[in-house]
């Protein structure tokens, strides 16, 4: 994630900020420029980036619910920003606690949309009877996380459903423990489910399909049978040799979605490290092999191949895990990147770069 600066006073700004912490200027994110900017009111309900002429409206979810910080061009007929246009269903805000859960969902959804826009893949709202991406944020109608009335987080034909209780850290941690998952985050859910959508968009019925099957396996394998087998017998003992998670071993679709989510983890975290100027140079051990830096001109979204990303990623995660352990926490990065997983990440990077290049050429 990029860092930004206030146009009024130069203070450093972060993606989720709505007001400058130094001068109090109102902030807004411009999706067409992927920039968080400080704003001046025009007096008629519109806003302009400081020192500029173009006018914007606040997204309705920004102005009415403080659940967004994105702007809409004054020339646009939409009341919602490009991220909020993806919403099909939001929680009942009359129910106590739902507003806070929804705001958490929106924050992570915007981070997902930012990453997708940076990658250059298509981000289009779902139209009735057509292609596109949409979100349903739904609540259980029965006892908490029980089978009866439970909302299942998942994807179907461009519609991503998220159980709003996943936005509750305590409940999410409880589920992580019950399912014995080393990693479970709200942003991770968004990234994983978006992977299913982008398999449909970027792989299915495209020239990439044959290579996908060579790398990930044949997705024509019966999904219901694979799911039942996974929950009955678990992943194979040597799953880490080829898969990023035990769940990825269940079916090629889940392998793609898990690896896609991991790819988004990598590019977003590496961009954050790049923006902070973070690098690693261990003071002990094999200095030549352990030394790595995130250079000021290293943009993970625009690298031609996966190798530089992996070369920067591995030492960064070693450092992150060591820092977490020093604070008494578990590893922030509980994964192993085998050669098989790196090959899959490389395939995804190749597909994404091809999409970005085609978009630029168009």
- How many CA atoms lie within 13 Å of 266's alpha carbon, on the beta-carbon side? 29
Residues 336, 214, single domain; the answer is yes
Average pLDDT over residues 303-313: 92
- How many CA atoms lie within 13 Å of 60's alpha carbon, on the beta-carbon side? 9
Token representation of residue 87? 């919403």
Q: How far from the centroid of its chain's Cα atoms is residue 73's Cα?
A: 24
Could you read off the pLDDT of 26-42 as tens digits, one per residue? 999 999 999 999 999 99
Residues 151, 20, single domain; the answer is no
Are 44 and 57 spatial neighbours (Cβ–Cβ below 8 Å)?
A: no
Give the confidence band of 228 by pLDDT, cuts at 50, 70, 90: very high
Choose among 222, 261, 221: nearest CA to 244: 261
CA-angle at 154, arms to 205 and 256, nearest 5°: 45
- The residue behind tokens 């999410």 is 172
Residues 253, 345, single domain; the answer is yes
User: Within a 10 A sphere around the Cβ of 287, how many other Cβ atoms?
Assistant: 10
* Average pLDDT taken over every residue of the chain: 90
Give the confidence band of 128 by pLDDT, cuts at 50, 70, 90: low
Give the confidence band of 288 by pLDDT, cuts at 50, 70, 90: very low
End of a domain among 28, 62, 80? 80
Q: How far is it between the farthest Cα atoms of the chain? A: 65
Residues 66, 89, single domain; the answer is no
Residues 180, 92, single domain; the answer is yes
Residues 233, 115, single domain; the answer is no
Residues 161, 247, single domain; the answer is no
**DSSP structural state of residue 133:** B
pLDDT confidence of residue 144: 55
pLDDT confidence of residue 149: 72
Q: How far apart (Å, rounded) are the C-alpha atoms in residues 232 and 109?
A: 33
End of a domain among 156, 187, 202? 202
Higher pLDDT among residues 299 and 262, named by residue: 262
Lowest mean pLDDT among 115-124, 250-259, 283-292: 283-292
Residues ≥6 apart with Cβ < 8 Å to 239: 246, 248, 249
Is the pLDDT assigned to residue 9 strictly greater than 80?
yes
Residues 270, 337, single domain; the answer is yes
Whole-structure pTM value: 0.92
pLDDT confidence of residue 290: 45
Is the pLDDT assigned to residue 295 strictly greater than 50?
no
In the chain, the number of structural domains is 3
**DSSP structural state of residue 153:** P
Average pLDDT over residues 38-66: 97
Is the pLDDT assigned to residue 123 strictly greater than 60?
yes
Residues 240, 316, single domain; the answer is yes
Is the pLDDT assigned to residue 95 strictly greater than 90?
yes
Residues 26, 68, single domain; the answer is yes
Lowest mean pLDDT among 45-54, 100-109, 118-127, 242-251: 118-127
**DSSP structural state of residue 307:** H
Give the confidence band of 361 by pLDDT, cuts at 50, 70, 90: low
Q: How far apart (Å, rounded) are the C-alpha atoms in residues 163 and 91?
A: 10
Strand, helix or coil at 322? helix
Q: How far apart (Å, rounded) are the C-alpha atoms in residues 341 and 360?
A: 29
pLDDT confidence of residue 289: 46
Element (H, E) at 228: helix 223-233
Token representation of residue 263? 């790819």
Lowest mean pLDDT among 130-144, 171-185, 297-311: 171-185
Query: How is the chain split among helix, strand and coil, in percent rounded to 5?
Result: 45, 15, 40
Lowest mean pLDDT among 130-134, 136-140, 193-197: 130-134
Residues ≥6 apart with Cβ < 8 Å to 97: none
Residues 118, 32, single domain; the answer is no
Residues 65, 93, single domain; the answer is no
Residue 210, φ and ψ in degrees, nearest 5: -65, -40
pLDDT confidence of residue 63: 97
Task: Please compute Rg for the chain using Cα positions.
Answer: 21
End of a domain among 146, 170, 202? 202
Which domain range does residue 278 map to?
Answer: 206-362
Is the pLDDT assigned to residue 199 strictly greater than 50?
yes
Element (H, E) at 311: helix 307-326
Q: How far apart (Å, rounded) are the C-alpha atoms in residues 345 and 352?
A: 11
pLDDT confidence of residue 173: 82
């Amino acid at each position: 994630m990029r860092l930004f600066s206030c146009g009024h006073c130069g203070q450093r700004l972060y993606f989720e900020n709505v007001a400058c912490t130094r001068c109090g200027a109102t902030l807004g994110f411009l999706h067409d420029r992927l920039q968080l900017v400080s704003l001046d009111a025009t007096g008629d309900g519109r806003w302009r980036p400081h020192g500029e002429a173009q006018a914007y409206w606040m997204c309705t979810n920004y102005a009415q619910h403080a659940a967004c910080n994105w702007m809409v061009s004054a020339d646009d007929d939409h009341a919602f920003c490009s991220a909020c246009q993806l919403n099909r269903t939001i929680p009942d805000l009359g129910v106590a606690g739902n507003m806070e859960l929804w705001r958490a969902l929106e924050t992570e959804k915007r981070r997902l949309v930012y990453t997708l826009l940076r990658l250059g893949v298509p981000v289009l709202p779902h139209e009735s009877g057509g292609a596109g991406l949409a979100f349903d944020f739904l609540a259980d109608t029965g006892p908490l996380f029980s089978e009866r009335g439970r909302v299942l987080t998942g994807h179907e034909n461009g519609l991503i459903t998220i159980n709003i209780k996943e936005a509750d850290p305590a409940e999410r941690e409880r589920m992580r423990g019950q399912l014995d998952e080393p990693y479970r985050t709200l942003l991770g859910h968004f990234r994983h489910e978006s992977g299913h959508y982008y398999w449909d968009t970027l792989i299915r019925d495209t020239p990439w399909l044959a290579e996908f099957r060579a790398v990930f396996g044949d997705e024509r394998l019966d999904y219901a049978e694979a799911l039942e087998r996974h929950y009955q017998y678990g992943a194979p003992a040597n799953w880490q040799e080829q898969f990023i998670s035990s769940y990825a071993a269940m079916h090629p679709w889940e392998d793609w979605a898990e690896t896609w989510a991991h790819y988004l983890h990598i590019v977003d975290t590496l961009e954050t490290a790049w923006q902070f100027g973070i690098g690693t140079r261990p003071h002990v051990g094999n200095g030549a092999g352990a030394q790595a830096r995130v250079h000021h001109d290293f943009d993970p979204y625009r690298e031609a191949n996966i190798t530089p990303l992996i070369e920067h990623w591995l030492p960064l995660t070693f450092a992150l895990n060591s820092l977490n352990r020093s604070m008494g926490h578990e590893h922030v990065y509980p994964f192993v990147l085998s050669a098989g997983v790196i090959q899959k990440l490389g395939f995804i990077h190749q597909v994404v770069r091809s999409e970005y290049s085609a978009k630029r050429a168009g």
